[in-house]
Amino acid sequence: MSDQLTALSSLISNGITEIAKKYAERGQSYPILADPAAGDGIMDDADITKATNTVLAAAAQLIETLRKPADVLMDTVYAMHTTSALRVAVETGIAELLREAGPDGLHIKVIGDKVGVDGDKLGRCLRFLSARHIFKELAPDVFANNRHSAVLDTGKPYEAIQNRPLDRFENAQRNMAAFVSHASAEPFAKGAMCLTDYLLDPESSFSIDPAITPVSRGHGQNIAWFEYIEQPGNERLLKNMGAAMAVSASLFPKELVLSTFDWDSLKKGDLVVDVGGGIGSCTLPLAQGFLHLRYVIQDRPSVIPQGFKYWASEFPAAIETGMVQLQAHDFFQPQPIKDASVFLLRFVIHDWADKYAKEIMCLLRASATPRTKLLLLEFVVPYTCNAGADGKGKYSYVPGAEDDQPPYPLLPSMGPVSSHVYFADLRMMANCNSPERTIGQWVDLAEGTGWKLESVKKGALSALVYGVA
């Protein structure tokens, strides 16, 4: 035990020294948690990210090693209250209100009067979040933004977001609040609570039907998620989902999408089809960076109007010149485009169980040319045990498929560094009766579809490149 504690402590100490050195080399200091204007600085730098991930994994493992098991389980089972408290803060516009108040913050009585809720109860939610380093309590019952809560600020006037709640996330300076609002909405909360009943019921436990999910059990209708959000009365869910997907894209560095594929190898006029591309947030950096290509963004008819608004705001010339087109298309129908150089799918396949995912891939293969590539931007779920980590494992024949072994005594999954992937996996089960997939499952998924996995570039978001088999 003492050997592990010492090793973990050394990883933390050495990592922090490396991070401080990298910031000093750039003439910067690490962003202060208490400062709402600190931003992220150069936190996405590759060397800093590597050192940070090691520190995070070691610190989390050290904490869990030292804590009492009962305390760990208590904090975990009560985690639902973190989600609900954060949703309260977002839906009441606290980040915008505190930004307008300035560095002196606001007393909970004043906040309650402005928001129209019980200030004491709201203050308890803010104190709960402040104890988790979201917001800060400057003095008893006086709160202000910190670096984490400031990300919830849309940048709009508080009055504007209160008067037009359906439009609060349109053209926002920062939009993490859109993701929180979407991810914490009532259907998801009910779905999470229904997971146990869903698994214990044989009719749902062994089903792959996208209409039979914990979420559908929660709202009482056996209907698939993407159909449910288009029902009358769910307008805000639908609208917020578009904004949340744009946030999801922004969470990954722009360079990640640009570097997932050798886009310069494509000839002038070659076509990239963003299948199930939503409003086109994934295509935007490509269109801005590779002007010699053409792009088509495909999604449900209800999403296309949002897409036109997005491009009118972000890159109107792309639509005006025809470099980018938006097309209504159901990817369970034959693919109408027959000359694509790349079919790009970001977080599409994870919405579907294998049977349906294979159907999507088969339909794309039927429209592919011999040189067409299928590029999937997805999570690869890390194993929490060693599985071919030395590069000589079962999938070592696929470049990039095998993981490097992290330093002793860290988990192969690096703990909190990949925790979002496991959250996403359970969320996909709850929403869509579908999985995030391990590398083995991504290899197996291609079987019988006419595609073969050629390479993997792993990261916060992994790029899986399939070629024609």
pLDDT band at 10 (very low <50, low <70, confident <90, very high): very high
Count other Cβ atoms within 10 Å, centred on residue 173.
8
User: What's the CA gap between 187 and 216, in Å, rounded?
Assistant: 8
- For the chain, what is the mean pLDDT? 92
User: What's the CA gap between 363 and 331, in Å, rounded?
Assistant: 8
The predicted-structure confidence for 250-283, as pLDDT tens digits, reads as follows: 667 667 789 889 999 999 999 999 999 999 989 9
The predicted-structure confidence for 94-106, as pLDDT tens digits, reads as follows: 999 999 999 999 9
The predicted-structure confidence for 276-295, as pLDDT tens digits, reads as follows: 999 998 999 999 999 999 99
Strand partners, 468: 451
Q: Which long-range contacts (CB under 8 A, 24 or more apart) does 169-176 make?
A: 169/239, 169/240, 169/243, 170/243, 170/309, 171/313, 172/243, 175/243, 175/246, 175/247, 175/250, 176/151, 176/152, 176/247
User: What's the CA gap between 120 and 65, in Å, rounded?
Assistant: 36
Distance of CA 76 to the CA centre of its chain: 21
Copy the structure tokens of residue 436: 């995030």
The predicted-structure confidence for 122-162, as pLDDT tens digits, reads as follows: 999 999 999 999 999 999 999 999 999 999 999 999 998 88
pLDDT at 385: 86
3-state secondary structure (DSSP) of residue 204:
helix
The predicted-structure confidence for 44-89, as pLDDT tens digits, reads as follows: 677 888 999 999 999 999 999 999 999 999 999 999 999 999 999 9
* pLDDT (mean) for 311-336: 97
Of 193, 200, 67, 89, give the one whose Cα is nearest residue 146.
Answer: 89
User: Does residue 295 contact residue 272 with C-beta atoms inside 8 Å?
Assistant: yes
State the catalytic residues: 350
Of 213, 223, 224, give the one whose Cα is nearest residue 191.
Answer: 213
pLDDT at 254: 67
pLDDT band at 175 (very low <50, low <70, confident <90, very high): confident
Q: Which of 3-17, 178-192, 441-455 has the lowest mean pLDDT?
A: 178-192
Of 364, 363, 371, 357, give the one whose Cα is nearest residue 442.
Answer: 357
Residues 6+ apart with CB under 8 A from 224: 210, 211, 216, 432
Distance of CA 199 to the CA centre of its chain: 25
Place of tokens 């985690």: 79
Copy the structure tokens of residue 141: 């019952």
* pLDDT (mean) for 307-314: 96
pLDDT at 391: 44
User: What's the CA gap between 255 and 46, in Å, rounded?
Assistant: 11
Query: What percent of the chain shows pLDDT beyond 70?
Result: 96
| Torsion sign, CA atoms 164, 166, 171, 176 | positive
User: What's the CA gap between 250 and 426, in Å, rounded?
Assistant: 22
Residue 177: its H or E element: helix 176-183
* pLDDT (mean) for 104-119: 97
pLDDT at 390: 45
pLDDT at 389: 43
User: Does residue 345 contact residue 375 with C-beta atoms inside 8 Å?
Assistant: yes
The predicted-structure confidence for 20-53, as pLDDT tens digits, reads as follows: 999 999 888 888 999 998 876 666 677 888 999 9
- CA atoms within 13 A of residue 241's CA, in its CB half-sphere: 18
Instruction: Write down the pTM of the prediction.
Output: 0.89
Length of the chain: 469
- CA end-to-end span of the chain: 50
